[in-house]
Structure 1
Amino acid sequence: MAFRVLSWNKMLHRCKPYLTVRGMKKTAIAALVLGAAVVHTYARQESTPIFRAGTTLVEFTIVATDNSGRPVTDLTQSEIAVLQNGKPQPVAFFRFEGSAFGPDAAEPRREPIAPGIFTNRSEYSPGPARNVTAIVIDTLNTLPEDQVAVKAQVMQYLRALAPNTRVAVYGLGANLRIVHDFTNDLEALRARLAAHRIEYNIQAMSADELVRRQLQEAEHYNDTVDEDSDSNDDVDQDAQADAERQAEFDKARAQMARADEYFQEQLHTRRMNQTVASLEALGNHLAGIPGRKNLVWISGGISMLTQGAHDRWVNSYASQVRGLGQRLATQGITVYPVQATGLQIGFLGTSTTAPGSSKGQEEKMHLRPMTRENDLRIWGTMDMLADVTGGRAFKNTNDLMAGVSAAANDMRGSYSVGFYVPDNSDNRWHGFDVRVSRPGVRVLHRKGYMALAPVKQPVSWAQADWQAAMQNPLGSTAIRLDARADAVPYGLNVLIQIAADDLYYKRVNGQPVADLEIGFGERNQKEWTRVRRDGATITIKENPQATVQPSIVRFAKVWTIEPDTSHVRLIVRDRMTGRFGVLDMPLS
């Protein structure tokens, strides 16, 4: 195995040490250095503010449109006001993001990176370093016939995209899969999507739909029994026996319906949990990308409220949906939900199944009524996610790409805004509002942010958590990482560079201390072979005269590896906040 190692100078510069490191285990851990004046090859944005001690920067995007919905591209900082609890907040920076998406936009510049250096920072990936669109095709909550239409329209949409567009496609099924991660190679993206399979998932059918169909089958069976009984002249039907048989049949049918409702409620809960977990995992994957991050969720939808026909108790998932929206909003992700069922046909409510009746047509054509109570509950889920994150919801339309088109149009009128708040992490949602002084201009923005608080005591992952994170195809950029690996006998000497402001620091003896876990996973050509972990505490030696925190920490360790290892995955996890970053290093 050969590992190309080039100069580290462009990536890592010598600087005055500002911290000390104490290993949690008695293993070989090199000293870390952290520099306030370190120069990196990743792009510095001219409007990006410095990191201030004792405060938290709330960075978000707004979309400005006129009364006709056209993007407004010449808004100035003096025309906006950010209010929290009704009080104006000083705007730390204001940046127009839409210039990269206009008709005359130039090809985006990719930051160079030396061979042998690995990073999870978005500015080194193909395409523009900011402002992306993720399309999620939800097969978990969508019927197969609707998936066919979704796939066809996504393929058609990708053919019409501008060459510089940076987009990714993911599949949400039993787990979250990468169809194609962010790229501006649209031919490769279309080819990968063409190979994406349609999935049949019985869980996508709503509980009330399944119960209704099963009751119809039971009624049909009962009618058949009655017809067979009437045609048998040799059997003397006793009226009382017939009534008892019918009562027993009705009782069994009701018990079956109750049992099925309970089963379907469990499936619904599993679908909701899987949907939330998958979208949160995608949020972690997108967290480190600056600028506007649009998530277009194309789905049959999942109801925020459930209620059975026999058990009338209402089960609400509103807090789970709201919490998901708030966490995604805090990561700077804007959700555009699109209902995959398209335009639906109204049902008049007649009971006959004769050909030509509305009921008969529904059964024949498998049409779902748009007035069903369950659809309104699904719309509630979509509306809540869009409202909290600052997006738009699209339902009851055959244009399934309306959400993608709206997300692309919003990019052209998007601005990044930031303001500072005191560092008072309390795990609560804090709302804010944005107002524009220019007449006729409206803005879309997320409704607030979560002031995430660390745990009282450090929490370590179990081995199963490490295994799951290593095998998850979606990495996380919640902690930004750079690394270099040097081949040594029987292993690798790995030097990791960590963005200091992605970590949480608690006070120990008056000094800020970060508590980390470092995971190291190995994979050969077939499977993951082993996962190991280590830990370190990082203590920053503060300068009382400084108002700016140092920006980089470094961690070095020699890891032994197996001879057939072809891929290494590094995970750096903050034990106080649970945030983690993932860095993949293919070995050659």
Structure 2
Amino acid sequence: MRRSLAGILLCFQFAMITVAQQPAPWPPPIPQAPSRPRPATQKPPQTSQPKRDDDLDIVKIRTNLVQVDAIVSDEKGQPVTDLRADEVEMLEDGKARNITNLSYISVAPKRLESTSESKSTKSNVPVPSVPLRPEQTRRTMALVVDDLGLSFDSSTYVRRSLKKFVDEQMGPNDLVAIIRSGSGIGALQQFTNDKRQLYAAIERVKWNPKSRAITPSFSRFGDDRTKGPDAEMKDSARVNFEQFSEEIYTVGTLGALNYVIRGLRPLPGRKSIVLFSDGFQMFNTNDSRIRAALQRMTDLANRAAVVIYTVHAMGLQPLGINAAEPVDGMGGAELELFLRTKRKEVFDSQDGLDYLANRTGGLAFKNSNDLSLSVGRIVADQEGYYLIGYRPDDSTFDQSNGRIKFHDLSLKIKRPGKYKVRMRNGFYGVSNEQIATVAESTQTQMVSALVSPFGASAIQLKLTSLYVNDLNVGNAMLSFLHVNAKDIDFTEEPDGMHKAELELMALTFGDNGQVIDQFSYIQTIRIKKENFERGMKNGLTYNTTIPIKEPGAYQFRIALRDKSS
């Protein structure tokens, strides 16, 4: 029986340094032909994977320069955009530092005048968008849904707020991803300005049965009150088990955030993460892993210029007794213990979210049932920021005693009036030059290209994928890849043949972000002299067939590199 397949098909290309040949785990597709004639001895323009422009770095921590971002507002909450360098003072560990640069960066989306053409395109069907280039991106936002820590009710409210964001609050130059903490490596490939893909991601936001928020943990005080001498022991064991489960899933949530932050780092400009979660405890847990993970993560976020906003998805919680809580039969002391524990757990669940936001210069939203209003304030908060650079003291990066010191940062406004400053609270005394960087293997670099929202421009590729039902394979995705042959470096051999070696890698992602199929191999191309000019004119075409076992939405991504580049 034929099954319908909704395919979200993206194509990315990559060109890098050479690596050792690897065996092909899948039979390679057949090249059908190698775009303009070019002499055999002429090499294509040497274009490589775009390097990270250091001028685009917002947060810089070096031995001769520390640069951070900050948001300044007046007593009415309105942004202040006209401060001068002589009106501010940067303090490192309470000591004033010499400011070398101060500038205000506006990233507010441009207001486009409405035209008859734009009005005529309004419909319930999203118009396909043109992919953004790095220099066109104004805001990069990762909307992280902590499905490892959301209750059933919270999942519904979060899904509504996400849809409203895409409908009304998302700008045309915003690069957005909707990521679930329970997703896999496919999470980072979802950064896009295409609302169709975002709507598809919203549909996948559902309650996770493995969530640590299966039921409110304080309900344990109201159910299964077993009578007998072992009742207290059972309650204690259940409490310990629930606390252990919550800590395990909390570490999983932080691990997902860590992964997203690392993926955001090479993207341009000031990045933000909006975390929707029912929260997690930080200061009232015996698990030091949570506190250590939070500290490492905030330092990583600060160095990657990532601001974290948090939304406590539980909303405004009634701290009294509600009809869903079985409190019948409780005595006065037991009822008081129940209410006290309930209040404590609600407030404790906000600790970790407050910490993440405060340490990275973001905002923590809580005790509000209007999640869309919180998201709107987050979008408005990202319309501009200050870049402030100063020259650090020699002692800032001193590690003579073998210890790395954390340096507190604060900004003092000397202009008359009352102002509120939000910025990163500090950094560890390790410069970016001192952080050891391990050279990535070519395979790792190609995987990074596959999950990047931006494609490399070194080799022009076009990918076309079709759903087919084959007698031998069954339901499958048939893909054709066209390669612009003028971007490939062919060498002429003594026998007149023209030779090139290409390395291909492909990943297929399911709708849950998991990799469901992958392959890589090295293809050697040899073209006869009399066919070379025609091949250069028409280009190279590859085809491959990927079996589809389940109906649903898939992403097929492919990267290609010329081994001689």
For the aligned pair, the TM-score class normalised by the smaller chain equals: 0.5 to 0.7
Identity %: 18
Residue 410 of structure 2 corresponds to: 433
Unaligned runs of 5+ in 1: 13-20, 28-37, 107-122, 223-245, 308-312, 359-366, 495-519, 533-562, 568-582
Residue 193 of structure 1 corresponds to: 202
Q: Secondary structure at the match of 2:260?
A: helix
- C-alpha distance after superposition, 1:362-413 (max 9, x if no partner): xxxxx99995212222211111111111111111111213442222222224
Output the CA distance in 1 between the equivalents of 2:174 and 2:258. 21
Residue 295 of structure 1 corresponds to: 273
Query: How far is 1:428 from its partner?
Result: 4.1
Residue 257 of structure 2 corresponds to: 279
Unaligned runs of 5+ in 2: 1-10, 23-46, 115-130, 333-337, 460-486, 491-497, 510-515, 523-541, 547-556
Residue 320 of structure 1 corresponds to: 293
**Structure 1 residues 124 and 194, CA, compared in 2 at 3 Å: closer, same or farther?**
closer
Output the CA distance in 1 between the equivalents of 2:261 and 2:232. 43
Residue 585 of structure 1 corresponds to: 559
Residue 358 of structure 2 corresponds to: 387
Query: How far is 1:415 from its partner?
Result: 2.0
**Structure 1 residues 165 and 72, CA, compared in 2 at 3 Å: closer, same or farther?**
farther
Output the CA distance in 2 between the equivalents of 1:92 and 1:263. 54
**Structure 1 residues 339 and 101, CA, compared in 2 at 3 Å: closer, same or farther?**
same
Output the CA distance in 1 between the equivalents of 2:545 and 2:430. 37
Length-normalised TM-score, structure 2: 0.60
Query: How far is 1:341 from its partner?
Result: 0.7
Output the CA distance in 2 between the equivalents of 1:284 and 1:352. 45
Q: Is residue 162 of structure 2 the alignment partner of residue 157 of structure 1?
A: no
Aligned positions of 1:123-138 closer than 5 A: 125=133, 128-138=136-146
Q: Which moved more, 1:172-181 or 1:432-441?
A: 172-181
Aligned positions of 1:506-545 closer than 5 A: 523=507, 527-529=517-519
Q: Is residue 89 of structure 2 the alignment partner of residue 95 of structure 1?
A: no
Output the CA distance in 1 between the equivalents of 2:339 and 2:458. 53
- C-alpha distance after superposition, 1:32-57 (max 9, x if no partner): xxxxxx999899899989x99x8354
Which letter does structure 1 place at the counterpart of 2:81?
T
Q: Larger relative CO (CA 8 A, sep 6+): 1 or 2?
A: 2
Q: Is residue 248 of structure 2 the alignment partner of residue 267 of structure 1?
A: no
Query: How far is 1:156 from its partner?
Result: 1.6
Q: Is residue 212 of structure 2 the alignment partner of residue 203 of structure 1?
A: yes
Which letter does structure 1 place at the counterpart of 2:519?
T
8 Å contact from structure 1 (residues 297, 335) kept in 2: yes
Residue 427 of structure 2 corresponds to: 449
**Structure 1 residues 349 and 318, CA, compared in 2 at 3 Å: closer, same or farther?**
farther
Which letter does structure 2 place at the counterpart of 1:529?
F
Output the CA distance in 2 between the equivalents of 1:531 and 1:26. 8
Residue 84 of structure 2 corresponds to: 76
Which letter does structure 2 place at the counterpart of 1:89?
R
Output the CA distance in 2 between the equivalents of 1:303 and 1:587. 46
**Structure 1 residues 191 and 202, CA, compared in 2 at 3 Å: closer, same or farther?**
closer
Residue 390 of structure 2 corresponds to: 419
Q: Secondary structure at the match of 2:224?
A: helix
Aligned positions of 1:565-580 closer than 5 A: none
- C-alpha distance after superposition, 1:485-511 (max 9, x if no partner): 7376897468xxxxxxxxxxxxxxxxx
**Structure 1 residues 352 and 104, CA, compared in 2 at 3 Å: closer, same or farther?**
closer
Q: Secondary structure at the match of 2:387?
A: strand
Output the CA distance in 2 between the equivalents of 1:395 and 1:205. 20
Which letter does structure 1 place at the counterpart of 2:76?
S
Which letter does structure 2 place at the counterpart of 1:438?
R
Q: Which moved more, 1:132-141 or 1:367-376?
A: 367-376
Count matched residues.
429
**Structure 1 residues 531 and 72, CA, compared in 2 at 3 Å: closer, same or farther?**
farther
Query: How far is 1:418 from its partner?
Result: 2.7
Q: Secondary structure at the match of 2:349?
A: helix
Output the CA distance in 1 between the equivalents of 2:435 and 2:413. 41
Q: Secondary structure at the match of 1:401?
A: helix
Residue 120 of structure 1 corresponds to: none
**Structure 1 residues 566 and 88, CA, compared in 2 at 3 Å: closer, same or farther?**
farther
- C-alpha distance after superposition, 1:526-575 (max 9, x if no partner): 6223599xxxxxxxxxxxxxxxxxxxxxxxxxxxxxx87799xxxxxxxx
Aligned positions of 1:179-258 closer than 5 A: 181-205=190-214, 208-209=217-218, 211-212=220-221, 216-219=223-226, 246-247=228-229, 251=230, 253-258=231-236
Query: How far is 1:521 from its partner?
Result: 5.1
8 Å contact from structure 1 (residues 390, 447) kept in 2: yes
Q: Is residue 72 of structure 2 the alignment partner of residue 64 of structure 1?
A: yes
**Aligned with 1:172 (options 173, 177, 180):** 180
- C-alpha distance after superposition, 1:66-119 (max 9, x if no partner): 11111222233332222223333333433322253364799xxxxxxxxxxxxx
- C-alpha distance after superposition, 1:250-309 (max 9, x if no partner): x2x4443344334333322321221111111111111123432221111111111456xx
Q: Secondary structure at the match of 2:363?
A: coil
**Structure 1 residues 457 and 297, CA, compared in 2 at 3 Å: closer, same or farther?**
closer
8 Å contact from structure 1 (residues 292, 416) kept in 2: no
